[in-house]
Structure 1
Amino acid sequence: MRNEMMYRPIINEDILHYLRTEQKSLTGALGELEELAHENGVPVIPHETVVFLQFLLRQKRPKTVLEIGTAIGFSASLMAETLGEDAKITTIDRFPVMIEKAKKNFEKLDLTEQITLLEGDAADLLSSLEGPYDFIFMDSAKAKYITFLPECLRLLADDGILMVDDIFQAGTILQPIEEIPRKNRAIHRKLNEFLAEITKSPELSSTLLPLGDGVALISKNK
């Protein structure tokens, strides 16, 4: 399950290597999980995004967090450990293989009381949630970002932050559609729709960062 986007950097490779190797490492069982994921090509957030997410969460100190896209549970565990027991994490995934791996990792890290795993399609589950959430992290099917955005904004607290991962498609996002392989064109179109919405909407503030395969931070204008 190699994450190709992690190996097609959108910034200088020397800088990328520095960001991934010279910033503070995770320790304990969570550090072991990160290392194991990278060794086996499991798609988890790269270390430069890990460090940024830790910093952001420590400044924001959200009490309620929603994640869309659990995968093996690494990022949910990172958020839980960074914020401590006062914060509650709700995470959504629809793939049985990932769900089982995430459950095992939450148990191993003793986070089952802090993290609630919802099993099913986010398209169905988001509408059943009430919120508000102080922080939402979306790292799921890229073509669905534009679809999930209205529900995320509904669930987001007025002073909350929505963080969206993997928005630049390994730096190809601005290429003409004709240059994109046919199998990736739907994702390309939907991601461009998403980027246009979050950068142009008068109701939103956003900033885009070249971390990993690109990160967007979005808040609602008051």
Structure 2
Amino acid sequence: MQIEASLFREIQDYAEINHVPIISFEGASLLVQIVSSSKPLSILEIGTAIGYSTLKFIEHMPSDANVVSIELDNERVEIAKAFIAKAGAENKVQIIAGDAGSILPQLTGPFDLVFIDAAKGQYLDYFKKIEDKLSQHSVVIADNVLFRGYVESNEAPPRRYKTIVKRLREYLSYVTDHPSFNTHLHRVGDGVAISYYRGKKSE
């Protein structure tokens, strides 16, 4: 689906003025590359924000694909819906307002691609809740996993970030060591981890 470049610029401008975090240009390029190559028919997005990455998915996914997107902030939900409507893509996405930790267990899946870009301290919890909802050869993408460089740094992070950094390290260890996933860490933007699902290992 073709989406006007001017709409993406409008969303970027809104995000900058209103201090809404959206995926970096490099991160978005990586998303587009993965969606274009893997051709997912069902996408789960954890963290809609104002719909920037949602529309990137919609622009490059197959015409018969759909997105389920979860967002905690009600104001951002309405803004995202407005931008998506402006693109004429309302029928391509279902936005669910609420806490992802509570919503994920209720979803059935299966999902061909999952994008995690919400509360950084909850990434591992989110991942564990979607593990049994993945299709064969699904891809799980997590943004901001290096969190300002603190995750890979030997220096202690500021006290207010200690828990987030600890939990992101736990997330990366989990997806890297998991026998059912092949994970690559891309040092673009604030760090993007891409975990390729190998399917359930036979007993």
TM-score above 0.5: yes
Q: CA deviation at 1:39?
A: 5.3
One of 36, 40, 43 as aligned partner of 2:21:
43
Match of 2:184 among 180, 185, 207: 207
Candidates 140, 147, 154, aligned match of 1:162: 140
Q: 5 Å matches for 1:68-147?
A: 68-147=46-125
1: distance between equivalents of 2:7 and 2:178? 41
CA distance in 2, matches of 1:203, 1:99: 33
- Counterpart residue type for residue 90 of structure 1: V
User: What's the offset of the Cα at 1:191?
Assistant: 0.7
SS of the residue corresponding to residue 149 of structure 1 reads helix
For the 8 Å contact 2:40–2:65, the answer to whether it is kept is yes
CA deviation string 1:5-49 (max 9, x = no partner): xxxxxxxxxxxxxxxxxxxxx723223323443455431111111
Question: What residue identity is the alignment partner of 2:114?
Answer: I
Question: What TM-score results when the alignment is normalised by the length of structure 1?
Answer: 0.83
- TM-score, normalised relative to structure 2: 0.90
Instruction: Note if 1:216 corresponds to 2:193.
Output: yes
Q: How far apart are residue 76 of structure 1 and its match? A: 0.5
Check whether the contact 1:30–1:109 (CA below 8 A) recurs between aligned residues: no
**How do 1:19-38 residues align onto structure 2 when only pairs under 5 Å count?**
27-38=5-16
Residue identity (%):
29
**Structure 2: unaligned runs, 5 residues or longer:** none
How many residues are matched? 196
Shift of residue 84, structure 1, vs aligned partner:
4.8
Q: Aligned equivalents of 2:197 and 2:33: distance in 1?
A: 21
- Cα deviation, 1:99-147, whole Å, max 9, x if unaligned, reads 1111111111111111100111111110011111111111000100011
Determine the C-alpha separation between the residues in 1 that align with 2:126 and 2:177: 17
2:153 alignment partner, SS class: coil
Structure 2 residue 179 is the aligned partner of structure 1 residue 185: no
Distance 1:166 1:215 in 2: 6
Unaligned ranges ≥5, structure 1: 1-25
Deviation at 1:188, TM superposition (A): 1.1
Whole-angstrom CA distance in 1 between matches of 2:93 and 2:62: 11
CA distance in 1, matches of 2:125, 2:154: 22
Tell me which amino acid in the other structure corresponds to 1:208: L
Shift of residue 190, structure 1, vs aligned partner: 0.7
Q: Find 1:171's aligned residue among 149, 152, 165.
A: 149
